[in-house]
Amino acid sequence: MNLLERIVKEIPPTDRETLRASRERLRNQARPAGSLGLLENVAARLASICGTIDVRLKRKVIVTCAGDHGVCREGVSLFPSDVTRQMVYNFVAGGASINVMARHAGAEVLVADMGVDWDFEPDLPIFHKKVRKGTSNFAEEPAMTYDEAVRSIEAGIEIVDELNQKSPVHLLGTGDMGIGNTSPSSAIIAAFSGLPPSVLTGKGTGLDDEGVKKKAKVIEKALALHRPDPKNPLDVLAKVGGFEIGGIAGLIIGAAHRKIPVVCDGLIATAGALIACELCPDANRYLFSGHRSVEAGHAYMLKHLGQEPLLDLQFRLGEGTGAAMAMELIDMATRILSDIKTFEEVAIADAQS
């Protein structure tokens, strides 16, 4: 049994009794029942994950997984692949969008090289988990081998374990960096949903309408060529995925194994969530969707997962920015559950009594 198989079998259940008690407390708080909408469900789910009504998310971490993509040779992105490694350095230097937004949310940002086409200095403070220097061009051949797909997910699991050796992580955010990676992400939801790429493909880095059509045709060609099996998520990842997408799947599975709630970013991070939850449906209990991206396929991903996004700010950046924004709401949800008094605690008559 490899690491992935073992961890999937060991995912613990969430605490149903704490979930029940949380929902009862929310119903009995001194305000109209259900008046705080989605945050009530977030609060109760967090309590069931952590096993307490008084959840304290002291250490928040966003891991941005990076990788390059052979499909860029098909002209599916406006930016060259060199930008991936340049952005890794920017993340480390603290100058990217995710760094600014994570600081505001009180979260650390750490980067994982899952498959960047570059040799980073061994002492660069990132997770050095490179599977290979970029995927193959899936318009011509599978993006990676089956073993590489497994390795990319196991690397994400290892990152969670390494993070927790420093101190416990209480909330994990998933982000991505990889020029061209909206193409494999759209291909993944197409494989699982059976919907045509023309419906699921978006502008990515800013393609015009003709560019989007061209990208959709590349994805359609790859799906017809490789016929990824939707019942086998590792087959889907290997044939049309990306190393950073596998890494994100591993982060989610590894976090679920350690009972850590995960907040997911946009299209690419949710592609990783799809792989994780198809491999291990119980991982979905630990997952929160940070936002709804404007990328066409993201809404279909969320529907497939049964996830309701916390925000809709018309983002399409990635990096983990949507996860950082949502972390502040998730933090607030913990206080809503614990700190708002019930009718009984403040001796106010309940309208239903």
24-27-28 Cα angle (round to 5)? 90
Distance CA 230, CA 164 (A): 33
φ, ψ of residue 144 in degrees (nearest 5): -155, 170
φ, ψ of residue 96 in degrees (nearest 5): -95, 170
Identify the active-site residue in 74, 154, 278, 319. Answer: 319
Look-up of token digits 């100058």: 95
Helix ranges, the chain (H): 3-9, 16-28, 38-50, 82-93, 97-105, 146-166, 182-193, 197-200, 209-226, 233-240, 243-257, 267-279, 298-305, 321-339, 343-346
Look-up of token digits 């529907």: 303
φ, ψ of residue 295 in degrees (nearest 5): -60, 135
Is 74 known to be catalytic? Answer: no
CA 284 vs. chain centroid, Å, equals: 11
Burial of 262 (C-beta count, 10 Å sphere; 0-12/13-18/19+): buried
Burial of 8 (C-beta count, 10 Å sphere; 0-12/13-18/19+): buried
Distance CA 171, CA 25 (A): 23
Look-up of token digits 């992580």: 169
Distance CA 307, CA 323 (A): 14
* Cα distance between the two ends of the chain: 56
The residues carrying an active-site annotation are 319
